[in-house]
Every structure is written in structure tokens, then in C-alpha cells.
Copies of this chain bind each other. A is one copy, B any other.
Amino acid sequence: MYTIIFRQNGYEIKTQAPGGQTLLQAAREAGVDIDAPCSGSGLCGKCRVKLLEGELDGGCGRQLSEEEIRSGIRLACESHIVSDAVIEIPETAGSFRYGIVTADFSTRRDLSVFDTVSEELKQEGIEKLRNHFSILILSLDEPTLEDTMPDLERVRQKILEETGCGHIRFSSVFVRKAASVLREHGFHAALPVEKREDGSLFVYDILPPDSKVIPAAAVDIGTTTVAAVLTDLCTGNILARASAGNAQIRYGADVINRIIAASRPGGRELLRKAVEEDTIRPMIRQMCSDSGIDPAGIYRLCVASNTTMNHLFTGCFADPIRMEPYVPTFFKTDAFSGHDLALGIHPDAPVLFAPNVGSYVGGDITAGVLVSRMWSKPEFSIFVDLGTNGEIVFGNEDFMMCCACSAGPAFEGGDIHCGMRATNGAISGIRIDPETMEPEYTVIGDSAPLGLCGSGIIDTVCELFRCGIISPKGAIIREGRRILRDQSGIGRFVIVEGTAHQREIFIDEVDIANFVRAKGAIFSAIITMLKCVDMDVSMIEHIYIAGGIGSGLNIKNAVTIGMLPRLHEDQYTYLGNTSLTGAVCMLLSDDAVNKVDEISSGLTYLELSTQPGYMDEFVAACFLPHTDASLFAEA
């Protein structure tokens, strides 16, 4: 066994690993996240790490320059351990570190969204705070030698007296705490209770008599990013928010690779642990510590996530999702409670899932559609959720259909050499001078530029195209000091020049091709879906854009490159992370839960791959902007 030390940003994790093991494997076992979008197959070249001390065997694949290799850069998936070693993990390779919860830039913008959405939904008859939780304040008679009724019986009789409810059930948490809390507070106490469907009153807990909050959490589990909100079931106030990278990234960038990883022996447990214990649990801990709440006092959880994510999160066998006939275990389930999950929340807290519609259209979409309100309008709208999978919903108050396309991780910085997620250091917007080709860019946070996030990539491709630097096929067709080519002749545009202290940030022809396929997938999916019902873009009144990627999204640029249809800018609405917003609505309001159920049962799923003409549409959309450029010409 050798001692391997992983370092990042001042954090250090020490582990023991056997000789011959790959560095990626050792990192996974130590709970250290290294991005491995290709799941460690040596293809993507994203798992770059830097060897600071010791030796490694291999890891100098073709994705690395000679200079990189000289400076100690290695691919973790191809490096084998042969000695003690100290390894540095660059920000870009593992930007979502083990147990570290990062501030979230997409949901930060959503702050006001919760109130706006609540107001809007109220117009549709959905009350923001219609739930069955409440706090009961009790003052009991103290026991005496003449009145030795057990504590539980004493509380039961008092509840009956105060509420008229005789069917009372106690949580084990209540039973364990009752004697001490009652005696510490002179037999005065506050009880968080839920009126359940069978008419019974469920008593979750016993708290000091001045307690007024019933904390609950909503979680959007994205394939790449996980976002969460802590709220209060009594007032609907937002108590805290957090987001973090999904630590399952260790096991692959997309749902298919994750399912495959989960199908290996012990894999299901590893994938569950990664998202539950290494991602969501620290987020909950962080939110609770920010707001002075005990995690065990979270009494309800709502999860909105794609079908694969909610299966992997609950530890379900996900293989049938990727195998014909693509059947998941559940669309919706109320089988899970806090005690089934290693999140540290109340053991009896019900876990509510936004319902799935199919194996590739999940609860993130049904929760998102709730927020869009397209289900209440006579005119036709489109809802696009830009994640690692792109999901599209089309319809109106009478009818809705949905489909999913595999956009790949490009929108979130995957499959792009200098791609990264929308965190500190990401270039989120760019302008290029058509004459000098000199770029101007904006960077998220107070940081030197580290890479390009999704919106930065869209802008870059658009600007390169607008300035005539790249052709409709994505080939670089101008020369200049910003244009470099490698030995095989692959051209790249340098956005930030490399120095001793600054990594070179560029986009190359391979990146552009990857990105163009992603945007082509989205556009062709929209067109195919419309064709399927004999409609075209002109009949669409509104397009709603959702997803973490969207926060810096320049709609005009996205239209220019042929990613989204040419509608008037006013017809676009950016809704932010609708999955999270929808989950918060469901958490607080049973009306919202019922509406999402109604939406999901009314959604018709369209399997794109079996649609005639889809492949042709896709190929046509893999140009800038499209083989039919007139589709995107400004009016």
C-alpha cells in the first residue's frame, strides 16, 4: 500500500492505495471527486491532475501536451500508482469537491422567483401554503402521585381535548424525547404535527414551547449540479439555499454511464452514497447551520430529478431504464421516508417525488412545467430544460407532449477542453472584436478566468461565427495571433493566453463540433416534435427556457447559432431552475402536488429516436446556424 495525498485549494485528503491501482480509482475510494465524464475510459482527457511528489506509471495520453507532461500533468484514469505520491487536483478537474458546498449562481437569481411563481400560481387556484403541517402548543398538568398517567397518554388526552382528534400517532422521535422535553419546560411543549389522509394526526417531534418553524427541504438533483432550498412549512419563508456538484460525476458525466457504473457489483450503493452522503447531506448540513436549524428537524423533503437520478438516489435498480423496453421501477412513490436516506433528516419525514413521465422525462420536468404555467394557457408554448439531457415540452391547456434528447454535457462545460461549470472563474459571456479578433469577457466571481461555462461557450461560438472566424461547419477560417493550430492541424481560438500563472483558455475545432452537436440535438428535437403534430415554429407564442445553464444565457446569440428557434426576444422567458422552484412549490402546497400529478398524467411522451425524419433534422441542425439559414435570419 502506498500513501497518496490529494490536494485542492488548501484541502488535503490522505489515503492508502495498492500499487497498480489507477489514481482515479484511488481518488474515488477516498471520496475525492475528479471529473471523469467518460467514466475513466481514457477518452475525454478531463481527469487531469498534477503530480507534485512521487511517481506514477502512465497517464501521459495524447490529450496532454509535452509541456503539460513536463509540468507533471497526468490523466488520473490512466495513471497507475507505483509509489507514495502527492497529487494536486486542479479546480477545473474537480470543481465540485468532496463535501464542499458551493454558492449557487443560478438559484441566487431565483430568489425572487419563489414569490413571483407563488403569486402566479395563486391565480390558477394553487395556494402557496396549503399543506397539512402545523405546530401545536400544549400546556399539560404535571403528574403527581395521584395522577401518574404516562407521558404519552397525558399528551394524547390533551391533543384530543384541544383538537378533537382521537386518532393520534407518535413518531419514535417524539416518544424518545417526550419525558425530558416535558420536564425541562414545565410540561409546556410545541409539537410539529401533520393531519394525514386517514384522519389521523401524526406527531413528529416535541420541541420547546416557543418553537414556531417547521423546516422542510426541496432538492433538485441534476445529473451535474444539485441545488436545494430550506423552507418553513408554516410561513413559506426561504431559510437557506445551497448547491453543489453531483459527486456521482466520479462515475461518469451522463445518466447512461452512471447506470452502467451502478450495475457493477456494489455500484448501486456507491452511486447512492455519492449523491446522498457526499452531495446532499453536506448541503443540508450547510443550510441548517446557516439558519440555526437541526437537520433532524426537517420534517418533509421534496425531490425533483430526472428518472435516473431519482432511481439512483433511492438506491433502486436502474438498469432497466437503459435497456429495452426502458421501464423504470416507479413514476411516483411515497415509499421513502427520512429513515431510508442517510441525510440526517427526521426519520419519519415523508419524501415526496415530482412524478416521472417516462424513463427519460422525469420529475424535474413535471415540476418545471408547473412553474411555466403553459398548462393554463390557450396558446401554444414550448418549455426547454437545458441540462445534461435536454427535455422539451410542447402544448397548451388542452394538450401537452414531451420528449428528451441527449445534448450531452457541453452546456455544462463537459466535452469541451476548457469547459467548466458555472462557478467561480468561469467565463460566462464574451464579445469578440470583428477586426482585431481580441476578446472581452466576463468572469463569474472575483477570480482569474479558469475556463468556459455553458453560456460562455454559446457566446464564443456565436461571436466566432459572427466575426467570420469559423465557417458554418465550425472550421476556423481566419488567421491571426489568437488562432493557433496543433501538430495535427486542429485549429483553436485562444481566449486567454497562457502564462506562467495563467492556464491558456481556448476553444478548438473539436470543442466546436461537440457543441454544435449539442445545440443541434435541442433544435432538431423541437422541430421534430412540432412536425409530429403538423405544426411549425410560427404557431408558438412562447418559449420558456429552464436549467442551471441559463443564468448567463444570451438568447439572441443562442438563436443566431441555430440552437433555439427564431422568435421575438419577448417571446422567450428565462425561468431559471424550474425544477427546484417547482419542488419548493410542491413542498409547501398540496395544490401544487395535485397539479403536478395532473400535469404528469396528461403528458404524452414522444420517443424521438423512432420518429421518421428526426435524424435528417438533426444532421441539418449540425451547422451554424442550420443548413437552412433562413430559419434564423433576423426579421
Chain A residues packing against B (C-beta within 8 Å):
143-145, 147-153, 169-172, 174-180, 183, 198, 314-320, 324-331, 333-337, 339-340, 347, 356, 358-359
Contacts and interface: CB of A to CB of B under 8 A. Distances in A.
Nearest to A341: B172
B150 A336 contact: no
26 contacts: A143-B327, A144-B325, A145-B325, A148-B358, A149-B327, A150-B327, A150-B329, A150-B330, A150-B331, A151-B327, A151-B328, A151-B330, A169-B334, A171-B335, A172-B335, A172-B336, A175-B335, A176-B315, A177-B317, A178-B317, A178-B329, A179-B316, A179-B317, A179-B320, A183-B320, A340-B347
Nearest to A325: B145
Given A151-B329, A153-B331, A175-B330, 10 more contacts: A143-B327, A144-B325, A150-B327, A150-B328, A152-B330, A152-B331, A171-B335, A175-B314, A175-B329, A178-B329
Residue of A152, A170, A179, A347 with most partner-chain B CB within 10 A = A179
Contacts of A143: 325, 327
A360 to B, nearest CB: 11
Q: Across chains A and B, which 4 residue pairs bring their CB atoms closest together, nearest first?
A: A179-B317, A339-B339, A172-B340, A180-B317
Contacts of A358: 148
Q: For the complex, would chain A's binding face be called helix, strand, loop or mixed by DSSP majority? A: loop
Contacts of A339: 339-340, 347
Given A148-B326, A152-B330, A330-B152, A179 B319 contact: yes
Contacts of A336: 172, 175
A183 B319 CA distance: 11
A337 B198 contact: no
Given A339-B339, A339-B347, A329 B148 contact: no
Given A316-B176, A317-B180, A169 B335 contact: yes
A327 B149 CA distance: 7
Contacts of A144: 325
Contacts of A337: 172
A148 B328 CA distance: 8
A198 to B, nearest CB: 5
A319 B337 CA distance: 31
A515 B329 CA distance: 64
Contacts of A149: 327
Contacts of A314: 172, 175-176
A174 B358 CA distance: 20
Contacts of A328: 150-151
A465 B336 CA distance: 65
A607 to B, nearest CB: 9
Residue of A169, A172, A319 with most partner-chain B CB within 10 A = A172
A148 to B, nearest CB: 5
